[in-house]
Structure 1
Amino acid sequence: MTVTSNQAPDIAAPPQTHHKGKHWIDDWRPEDPEFWNGTGRPIARRNLIFSIFAEHIGFSVWLLWSIVVVQMTAAADGSAAASGWALTTTQALWLVAVPSGVGAFLRIPYTFAVPVFGGRNWTVVSALLLLIPCLLMSWAVSDPGFSFVGLCLIAATAGFGGGNFASSMANISFFYPEREKGWALGLNAAGGNIGVAVAQKIIPLVVVAGGGVALSRAGLFYVPLAIAAAVCAFLFMNNLTEAKADVKPVFQSLRHRDTWIMSLLYIGTFGSFIGYSAAFPTLLKAVFDRGDIALAWAFLGAGIGSVARPLGGKLSDHYGGARITALSFVMLAVGAAAALWSVNAVNLPMFFVAFMFLFVATGIGNGSTYRMISKIFRVKGEDAGGAPETMVLMRRQAAGALGIISSVGAFGGFVVPLAYAWSKAQFGNIQPALQFYVVFFILLLAVTWFFYIRKSTRMGQVGV
């Protein structure tokens, strides 16, 4: 497909390479108002819708173990769960940490996959890859005698779902103009993130449907949905020639100091979101021995955090991403302090409310940090002269940076559950981990102010 317009492009001439097939678009100019309003917006919206669907299923599969392990963890007296399993709290936290770590690592090659294969093409492949963790899980959890090492290896394949985010966000970033990126990326990310909440709400009902506990249904439930996501992407999405460039811009994005600073900030926002989402159900059972609440209500945290993500992007479009990011770190520090107090006071209602507040803060921060990335690279392009070819190059580097930053940040999802596991094993409680988080969030607040809010800095002057 080649989209044309009578108005000359304001950012770059269409690439000379043309592709056969109706799913390729060679001429894409979202910054051209006439092109965008007449042709671009409907195409971008269609790709966004099916990108959200595929990413949603990916996130659901990624966090499946976070809810399944609640049904596999021994009670406070050491007795086996109804499923026949009797995992320790440390083992359960390892099983929710491993998929997060693998998913974080896979986000790097998944970022490269978009320029190599095309956004639509890779969405099809990545959706089909989800069949592997789903089928393996359904096989392994049916046998309480299955080895723990084997469970960890199978849980690792759920990381395929975590990789989807990087390729999806990098792809969608090409479809939208700068002025609408915050909202579009926020919606794309929120649609994926909310898959965590949906899985944590639906799967407990699925595995006990009809009486008893059948954990194998957790994986089988997402098999047809993964196939549906692949089929929809194949039929309705597009590849952009502009996005299918060489992978050099991804490597070039690594040279920018801001890529690494934003990676650190994203550990604090998204790393906290995915880490808390994975660990929260297990913490409710381990700290307060309330597995019933974990199965019935833990989904609210991921749901609230997901809904708050596009809000963070929208607020950043109006007030600047750095300011909203700083606000999110203030909220995160307050929330962690409240959670610490609730554990010391053995106050379950306060613990639950504190974590809901933490999830809101992570959602807002996720949206604002992603908005900052595209703005930072746009400013870099303008400072380099603002020539059309320069701006195209910087958009490609921004897309590469999105993937790298999402990968580094997602490692927080690996560290958070293990930090709780270490704290529980070494001290018998999770207070030391919460104390660390309070200090960490205050540090990230200082980093945000120093590099992106101070008026003596270039980014502070332009209101990144």
Structure 2
Amino acid sequence: MTVPGGRWIQHWDPEDETFWKETGERVARRNLFFSVLSEHIGFSVWTLWSVLVLFMGPEYGLTPADKFLLTSVVTLVGAVVRVPYTFAVAVFGGRNWTVVSAGLLLVPTVAAFMVMEPGTSYSTFLLVGLLAGVGGGNFASSMTNINAFFPLRKKGWALGLNAGGGNIGVPVIQLTALAIIGASGGPRVLLGIYIPLILVAAVLAACFMDNLASVKNDTGAAKDAARDAHTWIMAVLYIGTFGSFIGYSFAFGQVLQTQFGRTPLQAAYLTFIGPLLGSLIRPLGGRLADRYGGARITLWNFVAMAAATAVLVAASMAGSLGLFVAVFVVLFVLSGLGNGSTFKMIPGIFQNKALARGLTGEAAMAHGRRLSGASMGLIGAVGALGGVAINLAFRQSFLSLGSGTGAFVAFLAYYAVCFAVTWAVYLRRPAARTPDGPSGPAEPKARPSYAEV
């Protein structure tokens, strides 16, 4: 049974080559485009406070620790709401929920517009920051929705493009803030720009997106995904990639101001570069994972992230602003690349498990889609908590050491753990063959190893 109203597609089989070429690809790309637009605005609203704190000078009476706590609260709410947002797609339909979730972005934006001035209490800023967290949920519902539209062989590219287009909302709002600060404008100018954009995104989603009737409310899928160890293993890896991206996006400007004494305008000139490049490269991470295997790309990406972080420790200790900024931008790029490769792994892992159970053909594809769609919300939520941890780590590091060096040492250790987990779980074991089914021998083709997911 589907919710009345809206644009519902009753039959959807992207794995059928004929269907995909004649009908599916065109419809899927159209939904992808408007999904990216809505998610893009959602990311902008979610990371709004990473920009607003740059406007908040001494007259606001906030310490650096207060600002790190404020951005941590925003990140936390964005992580938590990803779970219900994931399952809202199945309850209301992907198109219908995109309209609703886009419209909800008006609440934190209008609220911030009303309270953004010196003299507002810190508790009020915290409350309004909590509201901005809803922007983080758009990612989960968007990824779950788009996952259902594309065939397995195209998921790395599609999910990477969807997520990358959304992630670009971070540098776009930072660039917009840079222009406003440079023109001596205030934070309400920035907020005033985004209010009509939210309305446009909601209207376009209503006019041009579709719901898939095949994506039904399945609470069993959520329970099965939560019980599967791979959901939580991938969540650990996603903390290292997306958690790094969103955490650094919130914290970078504050670190430049607090540790290197940059003014808001000077910080704004630098903060957008990393998130922009990290967003643009995310589809490439998915594409490389499609070709070479997500586990392989993810493994070596963590090696590179650890190496970059080691250089950041040295730059932080030496007080070298040029080296610090350059390597931080590299770390953003690597986090974006890893975002694409880790999310590509998820559908492949559950497809692999379906084959291991003896399922074949459409039955295996349906099983993989069912569990991968449910797990994405959980993985995305836990991964976003990495952003909370990063901001809290910076807060504690500045309180204890007066710099971010201690936080970077902790991040380096975490990337080492992610490397070890990726190798041990997804690359150490050899490829297995599909077990014999009840009605005959196994198919001659070997089941894909986890290295190929």
Offset from partner CA, 1:58-99 (integer Å, 9 cap, x none):
0000001101101214xxxxxx2xxx3242111111122111
1:255 and 1:406 mapped to 2: Cα distance? 16
Give the counterpart of 1:158 among 118, 132, 137. Answer: 132
Identity of aligned residues (%): 46
Give the counterpart of 1:320 among 293, 312, 334. Answer: 293
Give the counterpart of 2:253 among 274, 277, 281. Answer: 281
Instruction: Please say if 1:172 is aligned against 2:146.
Output: yes
- Between 1:213-222 and 1:394-403, the stretch displaced more is 213-222
Q: TM-score, normalised by structure 1?
A: 0.91
1:19 Cα offset (Å): 7.3
Give the counterpart of 2:222 among 223, 233, 250. Answer: 250
Offset from partner CA, 1:89-148 (integer Å, 9 cap, x none):
111111221111100000001011011111000000000000011011111112x11111
Closer/same/farther in 2, CA of residues 329 and 361 from structure 1, 3 Å limit: same
Code of the aligned partner of 1:218: L
Q: CA RMSD in A?
A: 1.5
Structure 2 matches for 1:85-100, cutoff 5 A? 85-100=60-75
Q: Is the 8 A contact 1:115 1:247 kept in 2?
A: no
1:282 and 1:187 mapped to 2: Cα distance? 29
- Structure 2 equivalent of residue 380 of structure 1: 353
Closer/same/farther in 2, CA of residues 134 and 437 from structure 1, 3 Å limit: same
1:138 and 1:341 mapped to 2: Cα distance? 40
- Structure 2 equivalent of residue 31 of structure 1: 15
2:368 and 2:427 mapped to 1: Cα distance? 22
Q: Is the 8 A contact 2:6 2:96 kept in 1?
A: no
Instruction: Please say if 1:108 is aligned against 2:80.
Output: no
2:421 and 2:321 mapped to 1: Cα distance? 33
- Between 1:425-434 and 1:387-396, the stretch displaced more is 387-396
| Partner secondary structure for residue 244 of structure 1 | coil
2:370 and 2:163 mapped to 1: Cα distance? 19
2:199 and 2:6 mapped to 1: Cα distance? 22
1:137 and 1:220 mapped to 2: Cα distance? 10
Q: Is the 8 A contact 1:108 1:404 kept in 2?
A: yes
Q: Is the 8 A contact 2:8 2:213 kept in 1?
A: yes
- Structure 1 equivalent of residue 156 of structure 2: 182
Structure 1 unaligned spans of 5+: 1-16, 74-79
Closer/same/farther in 2, CA of residues 166 and 41 from structure 1, 3 Å limit: same
1:50 and 1:326 mapped to 2: Cα distance? 32
Code of the aligned partner of 1:108: V
Structure 2 matches for 1:206-355, cutoff 5 A? 206=180, 209=183, 211=184, 213-291=185-263, 292-355=265-328
- Between 1:417-426 and 1:41-50, the stretch displaced more is 417-426
Instruction: Please say if 1:422 is aligned against 2:396.
Output: yes
Instruction: Please say if 1:118 is aligned against 2:90.
Output: no
2:392 and 2:130 mapped to 1: Cα distance? 15
- Structure 1 equivalent of residue 436 of structure 2: none
| Partner secondary structure for residue 186 of structure 2 | coil
| Partner secondary structure for residue 27 of structure 1 | coil
Q: Is the 8 A contact 1:67 1:204 kept in 2?
A: no
- Structure 2 equivalent of residue 61 of structure 1: 45
Q: TM-score, normalised by structure 2?
A: 0.93
| Partner secondary structure for residue 313 of structure 1 | helix
Closer/same/farther in 2, CA of residues 396 and 220 from structure 1, 3 Å limit: same
2:3 and 2:20 mapped to 1: Cα distance? 22
Closer/same/farther in 2, CA of residues 318 and 389 from structure 1, 3 Å limit: closer
- Structure 2 equivalent of residue 51 of structure 1: 35
| Partner secondary structure for residue 168 of structure 2 | helix
Code of the aligned partner of 2:343: Y
Q: Is the 8 A contact 1:58 1:161 kept in 2?
A: yes
Give the counterpart of 2:171 among 186, 197, 212. Answer: 197
Code of the aligned partner of 2:329: M
1:21 and 1:94 mapped to 2: Cα distance? 42
Q: Is the 8 A contact 1:120 1:234 kept in 2?
A: yes
2:245 and 2:110 mapped to 1: Cα distance? 26
Structure 2 unaligned spans of 5+: 433-447
